[in-house]
Amino acid sequence: MYIVASYAVYLAVSIAVTIWVARTLHHNGRVFLVDVFHGNAALGDSVNHLLVVGFYLINIGYVALALRTTDPADTPRQAIEMVSNKLGVVLLVLGAMHFLNIYVFNRLRRRGEEPYLPPPLPPDAHVSLAE
């Protein structure tokens, strides 16, 4: 009885949260990516846009796949519990995607900084192996 309404609420909230997170990542990730690409704003913007597209595809695809349920929704309580359970999983997936993006960005940034690091110091002692 409540299943169609539950699906509608789940889809509306999941897609709205996905859009909000993607916009936040796009807005705040730009500065970071421009830094990663050493001031090349065009490349940073391009990568930022591609990451947002991938983020949308993965998360909206997951939301669509997770729509199916065998749980009953005969009472308002069951419907609310089902929707909250599904939304909780979506939020955890969005959080995991966010941390994955941060990890990848950090790796890109570190790789980009390696050529600018000072060379290692020469050794100041020599240890001979006794045979």
pLDDT digits (tens, 9 = 90+) for 88-104: 988 898 888 888 878 88
Q: How confident is the model at residue 21 (pLDDT cuts 50, 70, 90)?
A: confident
Residue type, 74: D
pLDDT in tens, 43-53: 889 988 998 89
For 96-110, b/e burial (b = at least 16 CB within 10 A) is ebeeebeeebeebee
Cα 81 to Cα 10, 60, 73, 88, distances in angstroms: 11, 21, 9, 10
Q: Which two tokens stand for residue 59?
A: 């998360």
